Amino acid sequence: MSSNTLGKAFTVTCFGESHGRCVGVVIDGCPSGLRIDESDIQMEVDRRGPRGETLVSGRTEEDKVEILSGIYRGYTTGAPVTALVWNRDIMSRDYEGLADKPRPGHADYPANVKFGGFSDLRGGGRWSGRMTVTLVMAGAVAKKLLNLHKIEVLAYTSKVGNVEASKVSVDEIRVNTYKNPVRTADLKIVEKMVEEILNAKSRGDSVGSIVDFIALNVPVGVGEPFFDPLDGDLAKGLFTIPGVKGVEFGLGFKSSTVYGSENNDEYKIEAGRIVTSTNNSGGILGGMSNGMPITGRVAFKPPPSIARKQKTIDLKRFENVEITVGGRHDPCIAPKAVPVVESVISIVLVDHMLRSGIIKRIIKS
Amino acid sequence: MSSNTLGKAFTVTCFGESHGRCVGVVIDGCPSGLRIDESDIQMEVDRRGPRGETLVSGRTEEDKVEILSGIYRGYTTGAPVTALVWNRDIMSRDYEGLADKPRPGHADYPANVKFGGFSDLRGGGRWSGRMTVTLVMAGAVAKKLLNLHKIEVLAYTSKVGNVEASKVSVDEIRVNTYKNPVRTADLKIVEKMVEEILNAKSRGDSVGSIVDFIALNVPVGVGEPFFDPLDGDLAKGLFTIPGVKGVEFGLGFKSSTVYGSENNDEYKIEAGRIVTSTNNSGGILGGMSNGMPITGRVAFKPPPSIARKQKTIDLKRFENVEITVGGRHDPCIAPKAVPVVESVISIVLVDHMLRSGIIKRIIKS
Amino acid sequence: MSSNTLGKAFTVTCFGESHGRCVGVVIDGCPSGLRIDESDIQMEVDRRGPRGETLVSGRTEEDKVEILSGIYRGYTTGAPVTALVWNRDIMSRDYEGLADKPRPGHADYPANVKFGGFSDLRGGGRWSGRMTVTLVMAGAVAKKLLNLHKIEVLAYTSKVGNVEASKVSVDEIRVNTYKNPVRTADLKIVEKMVEEILNAKSRGDSVGSIVDFIALNVPVGVGEPFFDPLDGDLAKGLFTIPGVKGVEFGLGFKSSTVYGSENNDEYKIEAGRIVTSTNNSGGILGGMSNGMPITGRVAFKPPPSIARKQKTIDLKRFENVEITVGGRHDPCIAPKAVPVVESVISIVLVDHMLRSGIIKRIIKS
Amino acid sequence: MSSNTLGKAFTVTCFGESHGRCVGVVIDGCPSGLRIDESDIQMEVDRRGPRGETLVSGRTEEDKVEILSGIYRGYTTGAPVTALVWNRDIMSRDYEGLADKPRPGHADYPANVKFGGFSDLRGGGRWSGRMTVTLVMAGAVAKKLLNLHKIEVLAYTSKVGNVEASKVSVDEIRVNTYKNPVRTADLKIVEKMVEEILNAKSRGDSVGSIVDFIALNVPVGVGEPFFDPLDGDLAKGLFTIPGVKGVEFGLGFKSSTVYGSENNDEYKIEAGRIVTSTNNSGGILGGMSNGMPITGRVAFKPPPSIARKQKTIDLKRFENVEITVGGRHDPCIAPKAVPVVESVISIVLVDHMLRSGIIKRIIKS
């Protein structure tokens, strides 16, 4: 079956490999009449930052977005929107000889078995963080659609190893996140997070991290239970991001330790709107949005590419061996993942809003 | 779009409502030649336990499984398998008048908005835990298929409120779980968990919980990245279970606090098989199984139905009011959720194993 | 993959077998708020007529429609609508021993190979015309939705063997079709068609037929090219009806013999509306409706069940044998197929109108 | 919903527009290990012939196939295969001013309504025959897969206006079809067909046509009834080709005029294989292949672009007007459609053979 497509109404099909010719995306189901051009998509790709750098910094010229289809005279036509970024600056030599010696923590071994040894594993191939550029390109289109409905999707690095951000306001997320290399919203913690990352790196190691997200102004009733619940589809989308090991909404795992009387969010009328006094549900009840902010967290493992010697096996000789993984690698996933998390959430929201008819097939933008 | 179907190759479409005529399931894509009859499905439904009881106990006669199609002379034919359980013993009076006063923590409010007030919310309607009977019926078929491949899917209640089970062996899960009312695998903790639940109940309250799961002998390469990763599809499936607020695999959220050198699972050859020394990944790398046990945890919120007075709004009069929720309710989700978690995991595994051709379209059973 | 589901937004999943317990259907994606009850569906099922009769006559009590889910207080809830008809009056003895001797023209042989001999072939099993009851039940719901948009879907038997109806008006189709046993709209030809069918029957034979269809008031722009064109999805739906060997729209095969200057339908403004002077396109251009009536024809082969001795093979002994097919059979498909053709077209139209947002998710009916 | 994707297991998503930057295709679900390179795809594209020519001739340099992803060291990797052809030599001036004056027989009017006037209609946009290059590229990959199973898919122009080919042998189709500009298999009729086309053209007109097809060596049991029958999916695929107005299998419409005793294909054992004495069913019974050649016909209308003055309306001024359509156009569809028909059939066959497990996920080629 088709497995490289996310969504049902706003569908995102990605193609390409980390060290192939390009990474690209076909977006099917985008309404017609949306004003958009390459710079809108480029802006989001730039926020993700350059490849292979220590931490996230400014744009590199190489990742230039090209739109191949679906836009005419500055507006979407309703036909598939295709966008891609050509791959340049590739040093595939680093990966030679590793095909038969799977790197611990990477997809190499199951990929080898699943695809009979035919996978292009250079630079992580399909499993590289590089593939998330395609999510960000699609996310850029989704965000434009959400903007028309005043919906805002924000994310930030809330934890790096054991360094944790304090509780922040929405405004702090908006203003601070993309102004610091770790993409956190708590400026007081930036230095410590950078330090944690650089320390790990200097030891030839990597470190885990958490990204918090919040989506504002999502209307009530988005999500399709029983089997396409909003939280379920968001979780599925988020688990497609390489390195994710956990997803929770609202109180999340903490909700397992509290009582119903503490956890239930009571309704009230406030300024003429129905709201809840607390938001332990993270804005989702029975798989549908309830009008409150959609909140949650995504846990990232430390990137598996570390400079240390590791034990593995030689698949051809079927014997135990040791390897050292070369190449340039990010020592922490969260900083680059922040715009990816935003993109996935935006894509899933648009998909569901199209399905429920809240976003129309023809846009006046 | 179709939203009440889970899976792509082994698809599970559920129908019915908590207080409607029945709850049922159509399973499309089940291979032909699988030996199965109503008692196989009945057994799994019985493990889920009766409706509306304090804790899980033995079977009630009412939940009798009927197979309507797809099985001939004791074998699946390859046509859709339909099974249902008729609803009996319904006391819908308790829900009268609540349609306009959404219960905190329930799906009532978004359901009302989404479906224009036409939802059947009696007993929770489509959002009731009752609907999970359909997952268990489909799970029973999936488990039969997995058995042929020696795959075993186990789950147990690992935490109720702040009462936590100790680390248990696979054998303890196998032997203990369905022998105690909280469905935990650590027999030393049963009494405390029961106490925690009954205490909450006696206060007119409910309590949160966690279910751990493990799937053994899953072959390498199950899962379809980039966008149908095994962990993503498992997470989506698990989030369809009412009350789930978080899902994690392997080390899960803890992986965000460790270093790559600690987290990477090194490969080695052991007894002629490729294994990893640790299993922090929970058996999934790059969205594909790696041959190690698939492990993870599911966090359940405390059930929203509590006996206490709660604040809500009257949707018709648009004013703040107070309600007390009647009806019979479970004060903790995990005990009944254990076979549901097993079922969802089994369904998703079968779906992916059919997609990758590991399970064939014609079975010799 | 799921293969027993038709449609993407208004999805129709059928279950059951000709001589199993029931034939039923799950409709997912039906908007909430549609006023409907069992009698609406019963009426359409009755138009299809009884099982196993010579020609179509009145209702038999046995085919009583039961709704199992999705309707509450007389309105659809937005949850899956499940309806079924229990099978009674089954004489399966007639089919004993034929499993290994495939009947010419039937699905027996490929079904046997495809499903490893596990198919329930009694009475044609999944391949029986009996299964079209499920399409008619779903079609009844679809027609109710179309009525709200003033869309009317009509069909009639236009040819039986070499007996052909004259050109008829829309009113003749409306008034005449269900008043005669062959379901034709040209009353002058009824007797000859009946004679043609009875002649074939008296010779132990069967005869082919054609059904013409027309859908009125379909709005402009229904259909999703490039790959879900309205004609393509209609054709696919129509080919699911047992016995269909050809489908054409507008001029159809005749358009292959004319010139562009004859075939092009010129536009003009008439009574304030944009229409075409001719309708050779059958109301579909580029896979989308153009506002004109959607017209076409469906060719049915003669039913394969004939009373004559026929040559076949014994699959077990792998040798040539002769068989005579028992059981009760219709000698011509069109009469019973007329409401089925209407149903399929209605289902596909609703599916596409939901996808394009013309039919809303909440209905005021 | 996603609408620009054909297939479920071998999925073909096309993008691009006639006068946009390119036309391209993403093939998801192609097994790994298939030996293929650009020349394999180029060869099929070349058979389709150049754009805008009178009849089909040799290759034009401009339509050079580029593979963007999914192939590594000459073999498919199991990741999406993306291929495109850049558009060059575009004269869009011819289409200026026509957006508001829909061309009779074209998709302009419904496209305008459906997409709110945002469609890129230059050169027919998404509705141009140009888009079929994407089908041919995907078909080239499908054919390579079918070759491994000895399956051969052939098509040829059987009729142009009233000029009809005689009955031909399979060998004549193989040898003759691509050696003449009308792509017919009956060499005696070539000149007359050319004449018929050129006559129409010289009068500023166009002419209808028919393509016959045959697929050899398809194994028994391909197709997924009830709702994904092989004939239904083939028909849907064929109706996506611009200009198709009818599709039939085996005897097709003629089967409506014969008796069951004439139409039923009796089984017999011949040279150790089960075959039928006749093949009136066109190799499909109950939506599944029966091992006989799959045969059928596709009717094409005359291309709507003709040089004559035609009546239409001015959408902005809402008044009757006349137009003359400029640009270069083919006066008959069949010659270019022959490889497209082959491609669509190949794609659908591969899709279904993957679904039933006959084609494996890893290929040894």
User: Which of C157, C200, C244, C129 has the alpha carbon at shortest distance from D252?
Assistant: C244
User: For residues B137 and C121, what is the distance between their CA atoms, to the nearest angstrom?
Assistant: 25
Residue C361 forms contact with A (CB below 8 Å): yes
Query: Phi then psi for B138, rounded to 5 degrees?
Result: -65, -35
User: Which of A83-97, A240-254, A260-274, D221-235 has the least mean pLDDT?
Assistant: A83-97
A321 contacts A240 by C-beta, under 8 angstroms: no
Q: How does the average pLDDT of chain A come out, rounded?
A: 93
User: For residues C216 and D128, what is the distance between their CA atoms, to the nearest angstrom?
Assistant: 28
Averaged pLDDT for residues D231-248? 98
Please give the residue range of the domain that contains residue C296. 5-355
DSSP conformational letter for A98: -
Cα four-point dihedral sign A183, A187, A191, A197: negative
pLDDT for position D198:
96
Does residue A362 lie in a domain region?
no
Cα of first residue to Cα of last residue in chain D, in angstroms, is 36
- Rounded to the nearest angstrom, the minimum Cα separation between B108 and chain C is 13
User: For residues C70 and C185, what is the distance between their CA atoms, to the nearest angstrom?
Assistant: 36
Joined together, the tokens standing for residue A100 give 């038969």
Does residue D19 lie in a domain region?
yes
DSSP run (H or E) holding D213:
strand D209-216
Strands B81-86 and B65-69: antiparallel
Burial of C149 (0-12, 13-18, 19+ CB in 10 A): middle
C267 contacts C259 by C-beta, under 8 angstroms: no
Residue A80 forms contact with D (CB below 8 Å): yes
Taking 60 as the threshold, does the pLDDT of residue D38 lie above it?
A: yes
pLDDT for position A52:
45
pLDDT means per 10 residues, chain C with 365 residues, are 86 96 97 96 90 48 89 97 89 66 96 95 92 97 98 98 98 97 97 97 96 98 94 98 98 98 97 97 98 98 95 96 84 97 98 96 88
Does residue D362 lie in a domain region?
no
Number of domains in chain D: 1
**Which of B201, B241, B245 is best to mutate for the A interface (most A CBs within 10 A)?**
B245
- Percent over 90 (pLDDT), chain D: 87
Residue in chain C nearest B31 by alpha carbon: C115
Joined together, the tokens standing for residue C182 give 């062959």
- Of residues B88 and A320, more confidence is placed in A320
User: For residues B331 and D53, what is the distance between their CA atoms, to the nearest angstrom?
Assistant: 75
Residue in chain D nearest B1 by alpha carbon: D1
**Which of B108, B130, B184, B239 is best to mutate for the A interface (most A CBs within 10 A)?**
B239
Residue A360 forms contact with C (CB below 8 Å): yes
Averaged pLDDT for residues D217-236? 96
Question: In the 3-class helix/strand/coil scheme, how is A249-261 assigned residue by residue?
Answer: ECCHHHHHHCEHH
pLDDT for position B59:
40
DSSP conformational letter for A231: H
Give Cα B118 distance to the centre of its chain: 27
pLDDT for position C47:
93
Q: Which residues of D touch B1 (CB under 8 A)?
A: 1
**Band of the pLDDT at A325, cuts 50, 70, 90?**
confident
Residue in chain C nearest B18 by alpha carbon: C69
**Band of the pLDDT at D181, cuts 50, 70, 90?**
very high
Q: What is the pLDDT of residues D10-31, one digit of tens each?
A: 999 999 999 999 999 999 999 9
C185 contacts C172 by C-beta, under 8 angstroms: yes
* Residue ranges in chain B whose pLDDT is less than 50: 51-52, 57-59
Task: Name residue B145's amino acid.
Answer: L
User: For residues D28 and D15, what is the distance between their CA atoms, to the nearest angstrom?
Assistant: 14
DSSP SS3 for B335: helix
Strands C22-28 and C81-86: antiparallel
Q: Side-chain half-sphere of D349: how many Cα atoms within 13 Å? A: 32
Joined together, the tokens standing for residue C132 give 């079209």
pLDDT for position A51:
47
User: For residues D361 and D78, what is the distance between their CA atoms, to the nearest angstrom?
Assistant: 8
pLDDT for position C59:
40
pLDDT for position D364:
82
Helix axes A230-239, B230-239, angle to 10 degrees: 160
**Band of the pLDDT at D134, cuts 50, 70, 90?**
very high
Q: Which residues of C touch D228 (CB under 8 A)?
A: 1, 3-4
Joined together, the tokens standing for residue B66 give 């009927």
pLDDT for position C52:
45
**Which of B87, B108, B120, B130 is best to mutate for the C interface (most C CBs within 10 A)?**
B120
Does residue B362 lie in a domain region?
no
CB contact under 8 A, D361 and B361: no
Cα four-point dihedral sign A337, A338, A344, A345: positive
Averaged pLDDT for residues A21-40? 97
CATH number at residue C151: 3.60.150.10
User: For residues D308 and B26, what is the distance between their CA atoms, to the nearest angstrom?
Assistant: 56
A284 contacts A250 by C-beta, under 8 angstroms: yes
Strands (DSSP E) contained in B301-351 are 309-314, 319-324
- Rounded to the nearest angstrom, the minimum Cα separation between D71 and chain A is 8
User: For residues C268 and C292, what is the distance between their CA atoms, to the nearest angstrom?
Assistant: 12
Joined together, the tokens standing for residue C339 give 């409401």
Taking 70 as the threshold, does the pLDDT of residue D304 lie above it?
A: yes
pLDDT for position B51:
47
What's the residue count for chain C? Answer: 365
ipTM: 0.97
Q: Which residues of D touch C159 (CB under 8 A)?
A: 256-257
pLDDT for position A274:
97
User: For residues C181 and C194, what is the distance between their CA atoms, to the nearest angstrom?
Assistant: 8
DSSP run (H or E) holding A233:
helix A230-239
User: Which of A49-58, A260-269, B305-314 has the least mean pLDDT?
Assistant: A49-58
Does residue A96 lie in a domain region?
yes
pLDDT for position B62:
73
Comparing CB atoms, the residue among A7, A28, A116 nearest residue D4 is A28
- DSSP for C14-38, written as a single string: EEE-TTSSEEEEEEESPPBT-B--H
Alpha carbon distances (Å) from D237 to D4, D11, D328: 12, 12, 27
- DSSP for C167-221, written as a single string: P--HHHHHHHGGGSTT--S-GGGHHHHHHHHHHHHHTT--B-EEEEEEEESPPTT
CA dihedral A6, A7, A10, A12 (to 10 degrees): 0
Taking 90 as the threshold, does the pLDDT of residue A57 lie above it?
A: no
pLDDT for position B49:
80
Residue B260 forms contact with D (CB below 8 Å): no
- Percent over 90 (pLDDT), chain A: 87
A17 contacts A126 by C-beta, under 8 angstroms: yes
- Rounded to the nearest angstrom, the minimum Cα separation between B13 and chain C is 8
Does residue C363 lie in a domain region?
no
A312 contacts A104 by C-beta, under 8 angstroms: yes
Q: Write out residues 123-182 of D within 8 Å (CB-CB) of A.
A: 125-126
Based on DSSP, count helices (H) and strands (E) in chain C, helices before strands. 8, 18
User: For residues D171 and D192, what is the distance between their CA atoms, to the nearest angstrom?
Assistant: 22
What's the residue count for chain A? Answer: 365
Taking 50 as the threshold, does the pLDDT of residue A59 lie above it?
A: no
Strands C71-72 and C75-76: antiparallel
Residues in CB range of B306: below 8 A, 6 or more apart = A260, A261, A264, B204, B205, B206, B325, B329
C284 contacts C213 by C-beta, under 8 angstroms: no
Alpha carbon distances (Å) from C267 to A254, C219, C225, D106, D314: 65, 16, 22, 11, 10
**Band of the pLDDT at D55, cuts 50, 70, 90?**
low
CB contact under 8 A, B13 and C29: no
Does residue C365 lie in a domain region?
no
Cα of first residue to Cα of last residue in chain A, in angstroms, is 36
CA angle A217, A220, A225 (to 5 degrees): 125
Taking 90 as the threshold, does the pLDDT of residue D170 lie above it?
A: yes
To the question of pTM greater than 0.95 for the whole model, the response is yes
Q: What is the pLDDT of residues A170-182, one digit of tens each?
A: 999 999 999 999 9
DSSP conformational letter for A107: S
Joined together, the tokens standing for residue B114 give 């989404």
User: For residues C23 and C25, what is the distance between their CA atoms, to the nearest angstrom?
Assistant: 7
Joined together, the tokens standing for residue C177 give 């079709």
